[in-house]
Structure 1
């Protein structure tokens, strides 16, 4: 027997029943409580993911991870090679001579021969080489006069045709000319210590100053209380007004001795300094953007980098400071704590 057909009225009842069931499920899902719980769950997931991302970034960022690691003791393989004599405890005056070229010679009698130097085209002629030597000699003479000073020649491995650093070549020339003073030692069994060293990583004048402070600390175990820079007279304002202020170094504890080349192109050199040195730093105080950064990169052909993150941990935030729009502009001065804040 065939099944009886479903009446049309029964079909309508079944249809209405299914429709009511679907609506009840939909209404239950779309009630205010369900929406609120779902939204809360989504917001919680987003917040947790954001927290995990920021924590991961914070822990992995170079500045933070480096800064934290530097406050742990240095590894034994580094500390075991370092021996600072007590006589260094009286050293508090940094005398810095920034490098401008590389002396490749061996005969001090030929120190003024341009062929004994690695020079940029604009450095040839006009007595530039003589000025370099007079900077070296003046710095050494100041160091001899002050037994509490440390002479630092500063300048990196800037020329692709030489593995020497500017600082190292200046030091070689000073040693060859017998200009370097020594530290007095309490015993004849302790060899005389040179009161001069090199800072081998700076790529421009700002780094000459900052890195020499860090190198002073690396060498003596303390920061200087006075700084004297010996360089070109036409660069005086760049150092005294811009670089010193960028480091917040007290003006009363900063001195500059300027020695220019004795030539007829001084006016040209002064204009070059204004356009290519002084003015760029007035709009990019720390030299970490655009043209000034490009100069640093071009002067680092061997991809060298310094050790001051580990030897001078107090300076890590300053070493990493590169202000931008979020910091108040490229001239925003670093405002964090510095070892010389208590100086007057």
Structure 2
């Protein structure tokens, strides 16, 4: 996304990261058809969960006027497409008018939504989004919220957040809820059993 000099990003102090997991290619079904996605075989049936991640990120954005939403993910499906996961999720949001027909999502400030287009794993989702936040706002965020699969909550709390210095190693999550948060949404168990997720 092109930097918009007319937007006052300096008011933002809360980074919301949506970790992307596939590439939405566009189409008349606006993402509702799995045929409009580039996914891996093990992700079959999971595209509604990816859409739920987008919606959760948008909802979090509407709840904090000082937040910046980043859809994070690189071009993981070359040579089939040069499109990045992050940009494709942003395209999905745009194609669906940011899901503003949903009662919990309203008055979206689209100027506070950007794409990070290089990350290839969950640690990079966090790290590269922090860098993007710094580029856009001039500061590092006071709070970080990550939208991802629920089974990755422990990974962020125990590994990724401490690795970038957001929280100390080994302290209880409840002690730092003012600084970090994870919104975890797994696919339905009938689509992807929990034991399959944790093995991956």
What's the TM-score once normalised by structure 1's chain length? 0.50
Q: Kindly indicate which of the two structures has a greater share of residues assigned to strand.
A: 2
Number of positions where the alignment pairs a residue of Structure 1 with one of Structure 2: 180
Structure-1 residue corresponding to 2:171:
none
Deviating beyond 4 angstroms after TM superposition, the runs of 4 or more aligned structure 1 residues are: none
> 1:85: Cα distance to partner?
4.0
Distance in structure 1 (CA, Å) of the matches to 2:10 and 2:91:
26
What is the CA–CA distance in structure 1 between the aligned matches of 2:163 and 2:90, rounded to whole Å?
Answer: 28
**Does residue 105 of structure 1 match 2:32?**
no
Given the alignment of the two structures, is residue 155 of structure 1 paired with residue 73 of structure 2, yes or no? yes
Hey, what does 2:64 align to over in structure 1?
A: 146
Question: 2:77 & 2:88 partners in 1: Cα distance?
Answer: 12
- Structure 1 pair 86–106 and aligned structure 2 pair: CA distance change class (3 A): closer
Higher helix content, 1 or 2: 1
C-alpha separation between the residues in 2 aligned to 1:268 and 1:147?
A: 38
1:55-134 equivalent positions in 2, closer than 5 A: 84-85=5-6, 87-107=8-28, 109-125=29-45, 128-134=46-52
Residue 278 of structure 1 corresponds to which residue in structure 2? none
Deviation string for 1:152-178 (max 9, x for gaps)? 000001111111000000000001111
Name which of 169, 177, 202 aligns with 2:96: 177
Residue of structure 2 aligned with 1:247, choices 154, 158, 164: 164
> Closer, same or farther in 2 for the Cα pair 1:86/1:115, shift >3 Å?
closer
1:267 paired with 2:194, answer yes
Go from structure 1 to structure 2 and tell me whether the alpha carbon gap of 1:82 and 1:131 turns closer, same or farther (over 3 Å shift).
Answer: closer
* RMSD over aligned Cα atoms: 1.8
Structure 1 stretches lacking a partner, 5+ long: 1-80, 183-192, 274-344
Say if 1:141 and 1:82 are closer, same or farther in 2 by CA, change over 3 A. Answer: closer
Report the TM-score when normalising by structure 2: 0.84
2:137 aligned with 1:217: no
Larger Rg: 1
User: For residues 270 and 147 of structure 1, do their structure 2 counterparts lie closer, same or farther at Cα, with a shift above 3 Å needed?
Assistant: same
Aligned twin of 1:136: 54
Query: Map of 1:11-90 to 2, 5 A cutoff?
Result: 84-85=5-6, 87-90=8-11
Aligned to 2:149: 232
Specify the alignment match of 1:331 in structure 2: none
Higher relative contact order (CA 8 A, sep 6+): 2
- Distance in 1 (alpha carbons) for counterparts of 2:60 and 2:137: 19
Segment of structure 1 superposing worse, 200-209 or 243-252: 243-252
